[in-house]
Amino acid sequence: MTTHFLGDTKVLLGRSLRHIGRSPDTIITTVVMPIAFMLLFVYVFGGAIQTGSDRYVNYLLPGILIITIASGISYTAYRLFLDTKGGIFERFQSMPIARSSVLWAHVLTSLVANLISLVVVVLVALLMGFRSGAGALAWLAVAAILILFTLALTWIAVIPGLTAKSVDGASAFSYPLIFLPFISSAFVPTDTMPGPLRAFAEHQPVTSIVNAIRDLFSRQPVSTDLWVALAWCVGILVVAYTFATITYRRRIA
């Protein structure tokens, strides 16, 4: 059964990746907004923002990576919506394939596409002066956090992709996720915010994830932010996966 699932997922993953290969504008569109934000904040606002970092781009990059992921997962919902409306799911059900492989193929496609987008954003940040003395283990830890966060948001994206009534509805859910980093420590320290806003910013998942990545990049000792970030990522992933699979079963029932 496991071999059957893995083989079917591999075939369907290849199908989805070929679609992205034929339309590279998907990845281009995904990275344009995060890069535009990075250029805007570094070269326009960066001189007026006091973060205690020698380079504002070093402080800013973790939040931009989060925005990149939030921007990219909207395409997962979009592709799923097209498949549901195009009758692809019905065709797959008539074939001897593992049903769960259909969802996993979309999720893994999202992971691959988002990893490519993240690499592009990091390369642009390097051109803008981003520097990190982090070692290989720290970079691997950053990659693990970003992968977990991507998987968590992608499984959230599966739900509107299966239930939306229109293309706009399928992708609109990502807008709050894109703007959530603005109410966090991604762009400015939270201690500069007014009381209620600061309380929200310090206790939402993006702040702990951004702080953990920032500490890893700057070779700071591992703090509780890392474990809080991992707890948020795993918690969101488990809840989103559960609701997404329930929604999928109802959709194909």
Q: Is the dihedral of CA 212, 174, 125, 57 positive or negative?
A: negative
pLDDT at 96 over 70: no
Residues with Cβ within 8 Å of 226's Cβ and at least 6 positions away in sequence, in order, are 141, 212, 215, 216
85 neighbors 225 (Cβ within 8 angstroms): no
CB atoms within 10 A of CB 15: 11
Provide the 3-class DSSP secondary structure of residue 51: coil
In whole angstroms, what is the distance from residue 142 CA to residue 2 CA? 30
In whole angstroms, what is the distance from residue 165 CA to residue 122 CA? 36
Indicate the domain borders of the chain: 2-252
Instruction: Express each pLDDT in 198-216 by its tens digit.
Output: 999 999 999 999 999 999 9
Instruction: Express each pLDDT in 19-77 by its tens digit.
Output: 666 666 666 777 888 999 999 988 887 777 777 667 889 999 999 999 999 988 888 88
In whole angstroms, what is the distance from residue 138 CA to residue 146 CA? 12
In whole angstroms, what is the distance from residue 189 CA to residue 248 CA? 40
Q: At what angle do helices 74-85 and 100-127 cross, to 10 degrees?
A: 150
Instruction: Express each pLDDT in 111-134 by its tens digit.
Output: 988 998 999 999 999 999 899 888
Q: Given the structure tokens 């999928």, which residue do they identify? A: 248
Spacing of C-alpha 179 from chain mean position? 13
Q: Looking at the whole model, is its pTM more than 0.75? A: yes
44 neighbors 59 (Cβ within 8 angstroms): no
